[in-house]
Amino acid sequence: MQKCPRCNEIIGDELTVCPICRTEFTEEHIKKMKAEKESAKVQALIREKMMIQDFTKKRYIMGGMLIASLPVAFLSLFTLGHPIVSWIIFGLFILLLIGGIIFGAVSGAMFCPHCGRILFRNYGPHCAGCGKRIG
């Protein structure tokens, strides 16, 4: 869609004359509108790429917290003879596990950046709901 330079009415791309005010579009105006449209497409692609990179970073942080909780859980098994140390390590395990889940929910790492659906049991680099690439 393009905008008439005289009456600012939005009209179709193929038209060379505004149907409202009968203004004829010059080649310069048509080239300018095409360049603006291409620039808008490029900016949209850049925004989408930045959003996916930010989303991927959040997923790595969440995954790191969840994976780091596993060795802490095994470490707590070796300290069963020492109740205070065992409780401290078990508390660290709970903190990492619950913290990772909360971080994922709050930061949006558990939701598709395009459609907002929860990515529960998502297989592959595409959202199961909308099919767009997420990572």
Kindly give, in sequence order, each residue whose CB lies less than 8 Å from that of residue 79, ignoring residues fewer than 6 positions away: 85, 86, 89
| pLDDT higher than 70, residue 37 | yes
Model pLDDT, residue 43: 92
pLDDT digits (tens, 9 = 90+) for 60-69: 888 888 888 8
Q: DSSP secondary structure string, the chain?
A: -EE-TTT--EE-SS-SB-TTT-PBPPHHHHHHHHHHHHHHHHHHHHHHHHHHHHHHHHHHHHHHHHHHHHHHHHHHHHTTTSHHHHHHHHHHHHHHHHHHHHHHHHHTTTB-TTT--B-TT--SSB-TTT--B--
Model pLDDT, residue 122: 63
Model pLDDT, residue 121: 67
- Using CA atoms, how far residue 128 sits from 19, 109, 110, 118, 135, in Å, is 44, 15, 13, 10, 13
Query: How long a stretch of residues is the chain?
Result: 135
| pLDDT higher than 80, residue 14 | no
CA gap 27, 35 in Å, rounded: 12
Cα first-last separation, the chain:
32
Segments making up each domain of the chain, as ranges: 2-107
* pTM, to two decimals: 0.57
CA gap 135, 133 in Å, rounded: 6
pLDDT digits (tens, 9 = 90+) for 90-120: 888 888 888 888 888 788 777 888 888 887 7
